[in-house]
Amino acid sequence: MGSKQVSKTRNGGFSKLKTVESSASSTTSSSKLYQEASVDSHSSPTSSSVRSKPQLPPKPLQSKENVTVTVRFRPLSPREIRKGEEIAWYADGETIVRNENNQSIAYAYDRVFGPTTTTRNVYDVAAQHVVNGAMAGVNGTIFAYGVTSSGKTHTMHGNQRSPGIIPLAVKDAFSIIQETPRREFLLRVSYFEIYNEVVNDLLNPAGQNLRIREDEQGTYIEGIKEEVVLSPAHVLSLIAAGEEHRHIGSTSFNLLSSRSHTMFTLTIESSPLGDNNEGGAVHLSQLNLIDLAGSESSKAETSGLRRKEGSYINKSLLTLGTVISKLTDRRASHVPYRDSKLTRLLESSLSGHGRVSLICTVTPASSNSEETHNTLKFAHRAKHIEIQAAQNKIIDEKSLIKKYQYEIRQLKEELEQLKQGIKPVSQLKDISGDDIDIVLLKQKLEEEEDAKAALLSRIQRLTKLILVSNKTPQTSRFSYRADPRRRHSFGEEELAYLPHKRRDLTDDENLELYVSREGTPEIIDDAFIEEKKTRKHGLLNWLKIKKKDSSLGGSSLSDKSSAVKSNSTPSTPQGEGSDFHTESRLSEGSALADQIIETMENREAHEDSFHEIETPETRIKMIDQMEILREQQKTLSEEMAQQSRSFKLLSEEAAKAPQNEEIKAEIINLNGDIKAKNDQIATLGKQILDFVIASHDELDKSDIVQAVSEMRAQLNEKCFELEVLLKLSLFTQYFSS
Ligand SMILES: Nc1ncnc2c1ncn2[C@@H]1O[C@H](COP(=O)(O)OP(=O)(O)OP(=O)(O)O)[C@@H](O)[C@H]1O
């Protein structure tokens, strides 16, 4: 739906970089304020004269800006704690990072986040202004940088308990549309990785080794797929599917380490609302959300493949460091963007008009002290890159929103003409007889009705790609229903697409593992605990059965579900409570598929009593709903394939190191993921059932029977795969314990 293969995507046309001297900067650099007092900007800091926290001047709304640079500490990991690691670096207040062993070594940034800061807080400070800008036509780039296992993926992607910057930004983008009733929007996404210096399309597995091209407007990737998106859940489902193709591998530092850089791009077009907006300027901007692979010591890796990957990662990060140094050195005449694919693709962001936010993730652990220091120096240099935030406007026909608006207008005109020429078929109903002319006329009219339905269908399909706020009087357009802005509350649909705990060995559940600078657990404030509760509640809500609005079968559905949960029986090697639960829900998944057909059959028995007239509009709506359900099922299958891959990887690791605690923990996590997937299957099954009940009167019986039996077969297949996967993972867990 809304998918489009484009020949290129670009990061916009940009002007050449202006380098600045740090001391002359008149912008918001807190690091500059701090630097003057204590810290040398480019070499190793030595002074210890700063005692108090520097105050940030309010950020002026001017076009010249610096890159926003923030540092996020993660807590010590269970492994680091077990190894008795000390804290080497810590957050000294809100803007300073200080070295524990040498208090004179300190750096200041726009903001420093301690280990208990939530990603939502990080988003508010480091990302929200970039997202706002992008929605208003200013290009934006947010990237996470740091050594391996420092928390980049946790920050950018997050999980169901703690959504990352990407899902938060996506949610915010749709909320902004809701808050902007005077404009209409078209959003599309692309997602690719750079693995061993090769660009692969994550939304299209066939798009491997894509070429980077340049023209007068900038750099672009030839042949990358872009998909028009309709809702946060739609975007997140695409990312989840894309993640399946990303290169992830186990390293000495991170069991599920990203082996590639990824860039997720949301392209936003908007124009003034209304049918007659030919003259209105279209804003076009791109929001790039980048999860870099982490630098690592190649010596630590034993496998040749990991070493090779590591050397590509390190080389491209080194080039990024050099580019940033050159950008801040006004004497530099040449900036080596072309030395790596990463810097080639970042050139537009780093040298042009747009907002950039760099989130550096660090671990406080002493064993990583040197690498953390390098990250801090990198971050400090980046602070001095100067960029311009300017709105992009395009009026040309390359704009997709313009193209769609034009097509919709044309189709509407065609439809009008057709309507004027058509006499309603009902007027001819009374005419009878064998007159050949009348038969032909009836035939012609029926054909015209079909043509009208086809036109309507095309208009609807195009119209729903253009997003408008439901606060507008114009309700004919698809409107995105959003919560009020900034709440970032995730509904069931969106949460379903976030990883459950896929990569997290520790997460915010393990509060006792958060170690403060003094080595004692941090005191978590009430608000934080409350937020945790709310989020947990959110997750539980997701697991709850959706309440049916149709009176038919609704109560029996929820009754059935609760009964199944309470009647669980053990049947796994472990025979533990949680596993019984999974087993029972697996059966529930299959039972649901059967229930769908049963409902169909029951309804067929009453078919004669339902004789509402099917209109082309309702038919299109139903078909669309069916498509969405199919799409969800596809995503689910893709995610399951990803879990199978993770499982394969983990079982290989478990075979090599049966006593490895982290692998065991990860297998337990995977178990949780598989259970969550099973819940999703159950939810989807119920949605299909709801759909069957709600649409029976309006869809042709043969259509629905065919579609539903297809889905039923697929659901059964998935239930079976899940059962096998779960048993295998429990088996592995059993033998490695
Ligand atoms: N702020 C945080 N709070 C709690 N846990 C965190 C935090 N940051 C990272 N972690 C945990 O640390 C581990 C490593 O994090 P993550 O995979 O995000 O690192 P990374 O920098 O992306 O690593 P790589 O470069 O190898 O892919 C994960 O288990 C993650 O859950």
CATH of the domain at 301: 3.40.850.10
Q: What is the dihedral of CA 206, 209, 215, 218, to 10 degrees?
A: 90
- The residue from 466, 496, 515 where one domain ends is 466
323/421 same-domain check: no
Nearest atom in ligand 1 to 157's CA: 18
Nearest atom in ligand 1 to 146's CA: 21
Query: How close is the Cα of 158 to the center of ligand 1, in Å?
Result: 9
User: Which 3 state secondary structure label does DSSP give 509?
Assistant: coil
- The residue from 466, 499, 523 where one domain ends is 466
Closest residue by Cα to atom 30, ligand 1, is: 504
Which of 147, 149, 296 is the best mutation target for the ligand 1 pocket, counting ligand atoms within 8 Å of the beta carbon and taking the most? 149
Closest residue by Cα to atom 14, ligand 1, is: 149
The answer for residues whose C-beta is within 8 angstroms of residue 175's C-beta and 6 or more apart is 482, 483, 484, 485, 486, 487
178/314 same-domain check: yes
354's tokens: 């747009």
Nearest atom in ligand 1 to 144's CA: 21
Closest residue by Cα to atom 15, ligand 1, is: 151
Q: Are 325 and 37 in contact (CB under 8 A)?
A: no
CA distance 294 to 154: 12
Instruction: For residue 441, give the nearest of 459, 423, 458 by alpha carbon.
Output: 423
Within its chain, how far is the Cα of 691 from the centroid? 27
SS (H, E, C) 217-286: CEEEEECCEEEEECCHHHHHHHHHHHHHHCCEECCCCCCCEECCEEEEEEEEEEEECCCCCCCCCEEEEE
CA distance 271 to 574: 58
Q: Considering its fold, how many domains does the chain have in total?
A: 3
Q: Is 515 contained in some domain?
A: no
Query: How close is the Cα of 674 to the center of ligand 1, in Å?
Result: 21
Name the region of 575 (left: φ>0; alpha: ψ -120 to 50; beta: rest).
left
Q: Are 662 and 522 in contact (CB under 8 A)?
A: no
Mean per-residue pLDDT, 366-370: 91
Query: How close is the Cα of 38 to the center of ligand 1, in Å?
Result: 31
Question: Which residues line the annotated binding site for ATP?
Answer: 146-153
Any idea which of 146-155, 427-436, 653-662 has the lowest mean pLDDT?
Answer: 427-436
**b/e code 641-668 from CB counts within 10 Å (16+ = b):** ebbbebbebbbebbeeeeeeebbbbbbb
**What's the pLDDT at 444?**
75
DSSP state of 391: -
Specify which residues 355 forms β-bridges with.
140
**What's the pLDDT at 670?**
75
Q: Is the pLDDT of residue 411 over 80?
A: yes
Query: How close is the Cα of 78 to the center of ligand 1, in Å?
Result: 12
Instruction: For residue 145, give the nearest of 384, 461, 378 by alpha carbon.
Output: 378
Residue located via tokens 């309010």: 58
Q: Are 288 and 349 in contact (CB under 8 A)?
A: yes
Q: Is the pLDDT of residue 26 over 60?
A: no
Within its chain, how far is the Cα of 273 from the centroid? 27
ipTM value > 0.95: yes
CA distance 447 to 141: 51
**What's the pLDDT at 394?**
66
Nearest atom in ligand 1 to 258's CA: 27
Query: How close is the Cα of 97 to the center of ligand 1, in Å?
Result: 19
Q: Is 508 contained in some domain?
A: no
Closest residue by Cα to atom 5, ligand 1, is: 507
Query: How close is the Cα of 152 to the center of ligand 1, in Å?
Result: 6
Task: Give the model's confidence band at 59: pLDDT under 50 very low, under 70 low, under 90 confident, else very high.
Answer: very low
CA distance 478 to 628: 14
**What's the pLDDT at 213?**
92
Query: How close is the Cα of 535 to the center of ligand 1, in Å?
Result: 20
292/410 same-domain check: no
Residue type, 102: N
Nearest atom in ligand 1 to 505's CA: 29
Query: How close is the Cα of 255 to the center of ligand 1, in Å?
Result: 10
Residue 715's domain comprises 544-736
446-469 pLDDT, tens digit each: 777 788 888 888 888 888 888 888
**What's the pLDDT at 342?**
92
Nearest atom in ligand 1 to 154's CA: 18
Any idea which of 115-129, 277-291, 414-428, 657-671 has the lowest mean pLDDT?
Answer: 414-428
261/138 same-domain check: yes
Q: Is the pLDDT of residue 365 over 90?
A: yes
Query: How close is the Cα of 254 to the center of ligand 1, in Å?
Result: 8
Residue type, 292: L
CA distance 578 to 546: 22
Q: Is 55 contained in some domain?
A: no
CA distance 212 to 27: 34
The answer for residues whose C-beta is within 8 angstroms of residue 227's C-beta and 6 or more apart is 2, 3, 4, 188, 189, 190, 203, 238
Residue located via tokens 């399309």: 201
Query: How close is the Cα of 295 to the center of ligand 1, in Å?
Result: 14
339/413 same-domain check: no
459/379 same-domain check: no
548/444 same-domain check: no
Residue located via tokens 């006593």: 659
Closest residue by Cα to atom 16, ligand 1, is: 151
412/376 same-domain check: no
Q: Is the pLDDT of residue 93 over 50?
A: yes
Instruction: For residue 688, give the nearest of 607, 621, 625, 617 by alpha carbon.
Output: 625
Q: Is 185 contained in some domain?
A: yes
Q: Are 490 and 185 in contact (CB under 8 A)?
A: no
Nearest atom in ligand 1 to 150's CA: 21
Long-range contacts of 41-48 (CB under 8 A, 24+ apart): 41/380, 41/381, 41/384, 42/325, 42/328, 42/377, 42/380, 42/381, 44/105, 44/377, 45/104, 45/105, 45/106, 45/107, 46/104, 46/105, 47/104, 48/103, 48/104, 48/106
CA distance 671 to 574: 12
Give whichever of 219-233, 383-397, 515-529, 684-698 has the largest mean pLDDT. 219-233
Q: Is 485 contained in some domain?
A: no
Which of 250, 254, 261 is the best mutation target for the ligand 1 pocket, counting ligand atoms within 8 Å of the beta carbon and taking the most? 254
416/372 same-domain check: no
Q: Is 519 contained in some domain?
A: no
pTM exceeds 0.90: no
DSSP state of 371: H
Question: Which residues line the annotated binding site?
Answer: 146-153
365/442 same-domain check: no
Nearest atom in ligand 1 to 508's CA: 4
Q: Measuring CA to CA, how many Å separate 146 from each of 110, 313, 371, 695?
A: 17, 12, 9, 51
Mean per-residue pLDDT, 316-337: 83
**What's the pLDDT at 418?**
76
441/583 same-domain check: no
Closest residue by Cα to atom 10, ligand 1, is: 151
Query: How close is the Cα of 224 to the center of ligand 1, in Å?
Result: 29
Closest residue by Cα to atom 8, ligand 1, is: 151
DSSP per-residue letters across 62-77: -SEEEPEEEEEEPPPP
Nearest atom in ligand 1 to 294's CA: 25
User: Which 3 state secondary structure label does DSSP give 291?
Assistant: strand
CA distance 62 to 163: 31
**What's the pLDDT at 583?**
33
Residue type, 435: D
> Could you tell me which residue, 114 or 322, shows the higher pLDDT?
114
**b/e code 522-540 from CB counts within 10 Å (16+ = b):** beeeeebeebbeebeebbe
Q: Are 349 and 128 in contact (CB under 8 A)?
A: no
526-565 pLDDT, tens digit each: 443 443 333 333 222 222 222 233 332 333 323 333 322 3
- The residue from 376, 394, 412 where one domain ends is 394
Specify which residues 264 forms β-bridges with.
191, 289
CA distance 736 to 594: 37
Which of 153, 314, 512 is the best mutation target for the ligand 1 pocket, counting ligand atoms within 8 Å of the beta carbon and taking the most? 153
**What's the pLDDT at 469?**
80
**What's the pLDDT at 488?**
65
Query: How close is the Cα of 153 to the center of ligand 1, in Å?
Result: 6
Any idea which of 470-474, 565-569, 671-675, 691-695 has the lowest mean pLDDT?
Answer: 565-569
CA distance 724 to 677: 13
Find the residues whose C-beta lies inside 6 A of ligand 1.
74-75, 77, 146, 148-154, 254, 257-258, 293-294, 361, 503-507
**What's the pLDDT at 385?**
82
CA distance 47 to 76: 28
Q: Is 62 contained in some domain?
A: no
Question: How many other CB atoms are there within 10 angstroms of residue 279's CB atom?
Answer: 8
308/422 same-domain check: no
Which of 122, 150, 154, 375 is the best mutation target for the ligand 1 pocket, counting ligand atoms within 8 Å of the beta carbon and taking the most? 154
Query: How close is the Cα of 247 to the center of ligand 1, in Å?
Result: 16
Closest residue by Cα to atom 4, ligand 1, is: 507
Nearest atom in ligand 1 to 293's CA: 25
327's tokens: 């950008």
Q: Is the pLDDT of residue 592 over 80?
A: no
Any idea which of 165-179, 229-243, 366-380, 532-546 has the lowest mean pLDDT?
Answer: 532-546
> Could you tell me which residue, 100 or 659, shows the higher pLDDT?
100
Q: Is 252 contained in some domain?
A: yes
